[in-house]
């Protein structure tokens, strides 16, 4: 039943309740797969269980985060996982600076390649460095409609400025920002870490950036990006 649906076949009426329940609950989906293990080929079973795992990762991410991701997907043609992580970090920082509250409830971590939201990493981990393009993310469709005008405004600011750069350039920017640098103290280059990037520190940093540049405008953000990339070049930051 579920493998047929996942393979793109239209379910008949008798299957509809099972399919809807499976999409609403990955645990239910796994339960039905195990109950019907003997009716499935090994390949179909593995494929369906993997799909259940991926759908489960969607449910570990807050609605607000999913809405932001959906809106970023709508605005940009190609988004790699590395790029997405950095854009979400900038969205969090700029929104919290302008509205004095976080956009997302999720905690950000200081990994080797910059700030990372682990729940989002789990959601996209099988994409490695390839552009995100997968039919399962039809589940995100329409979520961006629930964003407020202020939330869309901040995402637009980020997409129209930071969003013109690739993931490695965005990584370089975060490597020269105080929150990540402080969290990585004591770690050598390339040494893994998962230190918390407190929301309060991210907000404090971007409030200071806002005072200097006026990051409520694209012009202000472009000036900030220009200066921090210049700083990165002069300090020899490469990755």
Predicted pLDDT of residue 59:
61
The tens digit of pLDDT for each residue in 187-206 reads 998 999 989 999 999 999 99
Q: Is 166 helix (H, G, I), strand (E, B) or coil?
A: coil
CA atoms within a 13 Å half-sphere pointing along the CA-CB vector of 13: 0
The tens digit of pLDDT for each residue in 108-166 reads 999 999 999 998 888 777 665 444 555 556 556 677 788 999 999 999 999 999 999 99
Give the pTM. Answer: 0.74
Strand-pairing partners, residue 111, are 114
Describe the crossing of helices 149-161 and 81-99 by its angle, rounded to 10 degrees.
130
Burial (Cβ within 10 Å: 0-12, 13-18, ≥19) of residue 84: buried
Q: Where are the domains of the chain?
A: 2-59, 63-235
């Amino acid at each position: 039943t579920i493998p047929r649906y996942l393979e793109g076949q239209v379910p008949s009426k008798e299957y509809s309740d099972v399919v809807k329940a499976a999409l609403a609950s990955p645990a239910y989906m796994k339960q039905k797969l195990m109950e019907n293990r003997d009716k499935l080929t090994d390949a179909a079973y593995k494929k369906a269980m993997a799909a259940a795992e991926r759908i489960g990762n969607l449910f570990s991410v807050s609605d607000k985060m999913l809405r932001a991701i959906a809106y970023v997907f709508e605005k940009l043609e190609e988004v790699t996982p590395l790029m997405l992580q950095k854009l979400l970090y900038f969205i969090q920082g700029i929104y919290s600076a302008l509205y004095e509250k976080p956009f997302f409830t999720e905690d950000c971590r200081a990994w080797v390649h910059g700030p990372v939201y682990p729940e989002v990493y789990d959601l996209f981990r099988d994409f490695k460095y390839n552009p995100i393009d997968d039919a399962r993310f039809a589940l995100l469709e329409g979520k961006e409609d629930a964003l407020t005008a202020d939330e869309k405004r901040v995402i637009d600011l980020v997409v129209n400025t930071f969003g013109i750069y690739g993931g490695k350039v965005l990584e370089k920017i975060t490597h020269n920002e105080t929150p990540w640098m402080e969290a990585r103290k004591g770690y050598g280059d390339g040494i893994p870490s998962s230190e918390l990037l407190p929301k309060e520190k991210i907000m404090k940093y971007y409030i200071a950036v806002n005072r200097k540049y006026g990051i409520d405008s694209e012009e202000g953000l472009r000036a900030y990006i220009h200066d921090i990339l210049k700083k990165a070049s002069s300090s020899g930051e490469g990755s």
